[in-house]
């Protein structure tokens, strides 16, 4: 297993796979299909001492999980509700079938290899759905407000209470202000997952897979605070256990 040495450019730093978007995008003189990810993701992995590697949203790319030390399931669009046996809500976004299939395959391979996993926002939901759970497709219907996603394209600050002794609380504390941008959330919890954080309205904000050293999902976006690398640092530390 890779370890984090003193050389900031050395080969002994943990390699972290980051899942990505497949989107139409314009840049320079080009407008075409792209594989992309906000730079905040690789930036925080670098700051925590890891080497980020971008994984394209293709099921075949799941083979790359055999060559990494940890996996981050990044945020992104809604999961196809057919994946958890539900009819589509009018507010559920268009399906990204290839990305869904790719990330489920990557997660399954990471679990087989028993490498550390961190799910971010959509990534938390991928973890729950892959293990047999379901989602609330439009959170305001359940909690009566849009505080978790009040403005398109902007993050909202949410106060979260964490269970003492859990992996996330050990990393960041028992009460934290986090950056959220989501209109879906966990509904039925998958077998094996344990809720370790909630928002004040009861929304599940973090889960951990029981019996695993570090398989964690958070509903918030830790990569949005470059001054706080604690959760990503905990992911990297788990590659050395």
Name the residues annotated as catalytic.
121, 221, 223
Say how far apart CA 169 and CA 173 lie, in whole Å. Answer: 5
Say how far apart CA 96 and CA 77 lie, in whole Å. Answer: 8
Say how far apart CA 84 and CA 134 lie, in whole Å. Answer: 6
Helices (DSSP H) in the chain: which residue ranges? 40-48, 97-113, 122-130, 139-143, 167-172, 230-238
What pairing do the DSSP bridges indicate for beta strands 215-218 and 185-186? Answer: unpaired
Contact in structure between 69 and 15 (CB atoms under 8 Å): yes
Nearest Cα neighbor of 44 from 72, 23, 10 is: 72
Numbers of helices and strands, H then E, in the chain: 6, 13
Say how far apart CA 3 and CA 43 lie, in whole Å. Answer: 19
């Amino acid at each position: 297993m890779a370890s984090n040495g003193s050389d900031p450019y050395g080969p002994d730093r943990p390699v972290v796979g980051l899942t990505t978007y497949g989107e139409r995008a314009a840049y320079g003189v080009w407008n075409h299909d792209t594989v992309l990810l906000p730079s905040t993701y690789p930036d925080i992995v670098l700051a925590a001492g890891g080497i980020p590697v971008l994984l394209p949203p293709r099921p075949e790319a799941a083979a790359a999980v055999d060559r990494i030390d940890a996996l981050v399931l990044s945020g992104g669009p809604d999961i196809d509700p057919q994946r958890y046996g539900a009819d589509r809500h009018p507010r559920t976004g268009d399906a990204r079938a290839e990305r869904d299939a790719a990330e489920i395959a990557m997660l399954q391979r990471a679990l087989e290899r028993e490498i550390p996993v961190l799910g971010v926002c959509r990534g938390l939901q991928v973890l729950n759905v892959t293990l047999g759970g379901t989602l609330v497709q439009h959170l305001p219907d359940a909690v009566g407000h849009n505080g978790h996603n009040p403005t398109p394209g902007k993050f909202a600050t949410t106060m979260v209470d964490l269970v003492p002794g859990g992996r996330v609380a050990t990393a960041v504390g028992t009460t934290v202000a986090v950056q959220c941008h989501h209109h879906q959330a966990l509904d039925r919890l998958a077998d094996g997952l344990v809720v370790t954080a909630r928002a004040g309205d009861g929304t599940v904000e973090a889960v951990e897979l029981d019996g695993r050293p570090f398989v964690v999902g958070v509903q918030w976006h830790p990569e949005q605070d470059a001054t706080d690398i604690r959760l990503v640092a905990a992911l990297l530390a788990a590659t050395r256990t």
